[in-house]
Amino acid sequence: MNAPSSGPLHSALAEAADAALEDTVVGSISRVGFLVRRRLYGWDGPADGALRGKVALVTGASSGLGLAAARGLAELGARVVLLGRDPGRTDEARSLVEEETGNPDLHVVVADLARLADVRRVADDIAETCSRLDVVVHNAGTLTHRYERTVDGLEVTAQTHVVAPFLLTGRLLGLLEASRGRVITVTSGGMYTTGLALDALAAPESDGFDGVKAYARAKRAQVVLNEQWAKRFGWTGVTFQAMHPGWADTAGVRSSLPGFHRVMRPILRTPAQGVDTTLWLASVDPPPARDGQLWLDRHRRRTVHLPGTAVSAIDATRLWDWCVSASGIDPERSLEGLGPDRTRPTTSPS
């Protein structure tokens, strides 16, 4: 007897097959995982024009997954703000997206996330010029094998992936709240290899610096912070989700992990497959009921696979406090200026 292709039995079988696929790790994260799950669940694309009238900001939009996300958001009808650090390449990306989607409502903002002054400036520009902000995709990121400190005195991986996005969200929180916006952070399966290791994140040793470990720590921190944002600011109506794109064939992977890229190339996802879950999280209506979650292929995933990598509530709070001090913004106070009732209604989260 064939299993029915919809209904509770099919859903249960699909969930079981998906869970088995997740346990294979490589199968799950590769292109195979994407193709199998698309078939298992019979995904529909987001509805045409699902984001018409909405405004979306994508960081790292000049290449790879950020460019694919900008293209997908533009196809759905959003006004898209492309944030890049190189004006020429980011404007090329804007032209390409316009040509491919026919959506002319695309805008470039230039900021190097390794400079917090840049982040403050663009956040203020966006807050001044945009009447709403419905989606933020924190995508910009890099894996570097060289120890490098930013002008703000932080290790560059930690600043680009953790502190700068924290500052950007904090600075844009009022606008996001007014639009019941969605904040989506692009993390990585690399984070499964580590716990939080805040001391190493905040002040890594320059001698024997291991870029892969620094990247994994930053990606773990993104997932923990995503949970913290949801706990602390879910009451505003803004939702916070982290997603893992799987392994996708991008310039970033080619340049930072050439050996990995050579071997895995046949099973890497396309950038469009890598951003499918981002676009789904940005547009699905209603948004997922619970926020602060980690997603891969439109399904919630565990945040811990290995013993010793779970993060305690105390460490999560320490991470938040470190971001407040490193970024110079306390989001818990940033809404206060917007009116007498704009403070968090309950006491601190656990």
Ligand X SMILES: NC(=O)c1ccc[n+]([C@@H]2O[C@H](COP(=O)([O-])OP(=O)(O)OC[C@H]3O[C@@H](n4cnc5c(N)ncnc54)[C@H](OP(=O)(O)O)[C@@H]3O)[C@@H](O)[C@H]2O)c1
Where on the chain is the footprint of ligand X (CB under 6 A)?
Answer: 60, 62-66, 84-86, 89, 112-114, 139-142, 160, 186, 188, 245, 247-248, 250-253
Known active-site residue 147: no
From residue 118, alpha-carbon distances to 38, 151, 167, 225 in Å are: 39, 11, 11, 22
Nearest Cα neighbor of 99 from 75, 78, 117 is 75
Looking only at Cα atoms, what is the longest distance across the chain? 65
At closest approach, how far in Å is the CB of 330 from ligand X? 23
At closest approach, how far in Å is the CB of 174 from ligand X? 23
Q: What is the DSSP string of 38-64?
A: HHHHTPPPPPTTTTTT-EEEEESTTSH
Contacts for 280-285 with beta carbons within 8 Å, 24 or more apart? 280/43, 280/46, 281/182, 281/184, 281/241, 281/243, 282/46, 282/51, 282/56, 282/73, 282/76, 282/135, 282/137, 282/182, 282/184, 283/46, 283/47, 283/50, 283/51, 283/76, 284/46, 285/50
At closest approach, how far in Å is the CB of 26 from ligand X? 13
The encoded tokens of residue 185 equal: 């952070």
At closest approach, how far in Å is the CB of 247 from ligand X? 4
Cβ proximity to ligand X, 191 vs 198, nearer residue: 191
| Cβ(209)–Cβ(325) below 8 Å | no
Cβ proximity to ligand X, 60 vs 170, nearer residue: 60
What is the separation, in whole angstroms, between the first and last Cα of the chain?
Answer: 50
Which residues lie closer than 8 Å to 180 by C-beta, 6 or more apart?
134, 237, 238, 239
| Cβ(90)–Cβ(297) below 8 Å | no
Residues paired with 269 in a beta bridge = 248
Cβ proximity to ligand X, 248 vs 335, nearer residue: 248
At closest approach, how far in Å is the CB of 199 from ligand X? 22
Which one is catalytic: 41, 147, 192, 215? 215
At closest approach, how far in Å is the CB of 28 from ligand X? 13
The encoded tokens of residue 235 equal: 């009451």
User: Cα separation of 313 and 51, whole Å?
Assistant: 36
At closest approach, how far in Å is the CB of 275 from ligand X? 9
User: Cα separation of 166 and 201, whole Å?
Assistant: 15
Count CA within 13 A, CB hemisphere, residue 233.
30
Active site residues: 215
